[in-house]
Every structure is written in C-alpha cells, then in structure tokens.
Amino acid sequence: MDQIENKEEFIPSPIQVKFASYYLNIEKKLTRTEIAKKIGISRRTIYTWLANPGFRSWLNSKKMELVNESLIDILKTAVRKAKSGHYLFAKLILEMAGVYQPGLKLDTGETELIKIEVVQAQAQTQPQAQTQPQDNTTALKQPENAPEGSITDEQP
C-alpha cells in the first residue's frame, strides 16, 4: 500500500514575516542580532525558528522568489558583459544555454599538429641511440669515418 505523506504547509506568523523582510533585504544587510532588536524578539528566538524545518523551507522559498524576481536583470547584465568580452560571463551564458560544458573539448583539428610538434621537439632533445635491428633486414647506417650526410648499406 502506498503511503502518502501528509505535510502541513508552514504558515509564518506576522513577526516571522517581518523577520524575513529584514533578513532577505539585500540593500541593507543586518545581522540576526540587529534584526532581533528591530522587531523586538531575542536572538535565541531566531535560532529556534531556524531549527524548524518548516520555517527554513518557507524562508528558502522566499529567497528563491527574490532570485527569480532578479533573474531577468541578472541575465541582462551577464549578456551585456559577455558581449563586451568578459570571458567568465560568456562562459556562464554558454553553460546556461547548454552549449558549453566544463571539460568538453572542441575538436579544432589542432590535435594532430600539437602531437607532431611534441614528437619533433622530443626527437630534437633526445640523443639518438644506435640500435641494431632485431631481424635480418637491411639497416641503413652511417659509418663512423664517413662524411656527415652519407649513408651506406650494410648487410648483417
């Protein structure tokens, strides 16, 4: 049998609503102690409210309402800054649009060029070891007394 949780909706008291209006005011950020003094309660009362999951949930929903109300302005600012060349804002907009994902690398065709450059750099810095072929094939070797650039055929 399915059990359905019957959660009662939290209904804040008028003093809790007043607390939230001060607490969520982004233009004049007050401490909890300052808010308690302004609304005529103890600081301990605020901590008791914050320990209540219903109150915390209600307060968080009020925070999200503020964010949603500001979202259009925030996006406009981010787009304006991205257009003016701010890398982090451009990255943010592209992530939000689902176009950019952290760790995703675009194939620009430069990978092979980089590999070739790395191999060439390694070849220039590593001393060339003279190794004998393991099989009975013909090896091209430069004798010690031969002039530079000349190659002779030697059979094993």
| pTM attached to this predicted model | 0.49
**Residue 55 lies inside a defined structural domain of this protein:** yes
**Residue 154 lies inside a defined structural domain of this protein:** no
**Residue 114 lies inside a defined structural domain of this protein:** no
User: Which has more confidence, 88 or 40?
Assistant: 40
Q: Collapsing DSSP states into helix, strand and coil, what is residue 36?
A: helix
What are the pLDDT digits (tens) for 112-144? Answer: 556 666 666 667 766 655 555 555 544 445 555
Instruction: Please state, in angstroms and rounded to a whole number, the distance separating the CA atoms of residues 61 and 84.
Output: 34
**Residue 149 lies inside a defined structural domain of this protein:** no
**Residue 40 lies inside a defined structural domain of this protein:** yes
Count up the domains in the chain and report the number.
1
Instruction: Please state, in angstroms and rounded to a whole number, the distance separating the CA atoms of residues 22 and 53.
Output: 20
**Residue 61 lies inside a defined structural domain of this protein:** yes
Question: What local confidence, expressed as pLDDT, does residue 151 receive?
Answer: 52
**Residue 51 lies inside a defined structural domain of this protein:** yes
What are the pLDDT digits (tens) for 30-43? Answer: 999 999 999 999 99
CB 57 within 8 A of CB 67: no
What six digits make up the tokens of 78?
A: 């981010």
Task: Categorize the per-residue pLDDT at 17 as very low, low, confident or very high, splitting at 50, 70 and 90.
Answer: very high
**Residue 64 lies inside a defined structural domain of this protein:** yes
Q: 7: which DSSP letter?
A: P
Residue-number span of the structural domain to which 41 is assigned: 14-97
Alpha helices (runs of H) in the chain, residue ranges in sequence order: 14-23, 32-39, 43-51, 53-83, 87-97, 110-125
